[in-house]
Amino acid sequence: MRSLLAILIAVMLLGFPLGAVIAGNAQPAVPAYTGYPTFAIASVQKGVNVTIVPSNFPPNDTFQVRMNWMGTKGVAGQIVATITTDASGNLSSKTFNIPSFLQNATQIAIRLESSTSGYFAYNWFWNTSTSGGGGGTSSSSSYVGYPTFAISAVTRNVNVTIVPSNFPPNDTFWVRLNWMGTQGIAGEIVQTVTTDASGNLNDTIYPIPSWLNNATQIAIRLESPTSGYYAYNWFWNNTTP
């Protein structure tokens, strides 16, 4: 009797392969999030709103958008919006209203922070109406606004890649790297880059100097010795797309 039952079970298993059932229900693996979120300033409507260009935000996360006085990094600033990212890390909104107490401020700090994951990113902007993003063939005399850039990739101790926005046309910039907290001021010049007539940089990948190898965080600054325009940011010295 037991032998007959064993044979029946074996026949059932052969008819419905276990491996096929598991494979049919398997879900594709979701790549783990790496790196950290950053954003650049794309445009400003003085006293009204600011538009950002986000990069590498974590998926399915919620961020509070805060604005505060310059120098605060946006910490404890007024919450002007709460936004979420989709499964690809795209933000639900990219333009945010400037709160009334900052409408006449010269410079404004903006911060996106998640109370769930702990991820955050901050930047600042001049409270002057401008449109960023580059493009066109405008001459330097018609250039408005200011340059900004986000960090898009890092190879630990080797190089960093940026995403520039609204750089002035036909200008030359020194790329400086320095310790965190310096804003890149007086840092080592690792490269000299130029912009074309549309404000596009001829190179966006810059080497990390050896004396900053193994630094946890690094400040990077692009500054023009001719026009005086500059932009700065910082990054974790960890390999990330």
Q: Under CATH, domain 146-241 is a member of which superfamily?
A: Immunoglobulins (2.60.40.10)
CATH code for 33-131?
2.60.40
What pLDDT is stored for residue 3 in this prediction? 56
Give buried/exposed letters for 41-50 (b at 16+ CB in 10 A, else e): bbbbbebeeb
Rounded average pLDDT over 181-192 = 92
Burial of 128 (C-beta count, 10 Å sphere; 0-12/13-18/19+): middle
Express each pLDDT in 52-83 by its tens digit: 888 889 999 999 999 999 888 899 999 999 99
pLDDT tens-digit readout, 138-172: 334 577 778 889 899 999 999 999 999 889 999 99
The residues with which 179 forms a beta bridge, in sequence order, are: 218
pLDDT tens sequence across 226-238 = 888 888 999 999 9
pLDDT tens for each residue of 14-28: 444 433 333 334 444
What count of Cα atoms within 13 Å lies in the side-chain half-sphere of residue 8? 5
Quickly tell me which residue has 């998926």 as its tokens. Answer: 59
Q: Which residue has the higher pLDDT, 140 or 217?
A: 217
CA distance 145 to 24: 55
DSSP 69-138: ETTTTTTTPEEEEEEEB-TT--BS--EEEPPGGGTT-SEEEEEEE-TTT--EEEEEEESS-EE-S--S--
**Each residue's pLDDT tens digit, 167-177:** 999 999 999 99
CA 197 vs CA 137, 142, 154, 174, 225: distances in Å: 6, 12, 28, 18, 18
- Based on DSSP, count helices (H) and strands (E) in the chain, helices before strands: 2, 15
Q: How far apart are CA 202 and CA 137, in angstroms?
A: 16
Residues of the chain with CATH 2.60.40.10: 146-241
User: What's residue 15's pLDDT?
Assistant: 47
Nearest residue to 134 (alpha-carbon basis) of 70, 193, 186, 198: 198
Phi, psi of 35 (to 5 degrees): 85, -145
Residue 59 CA to residue 139 CA, distance in Å, equals: 40
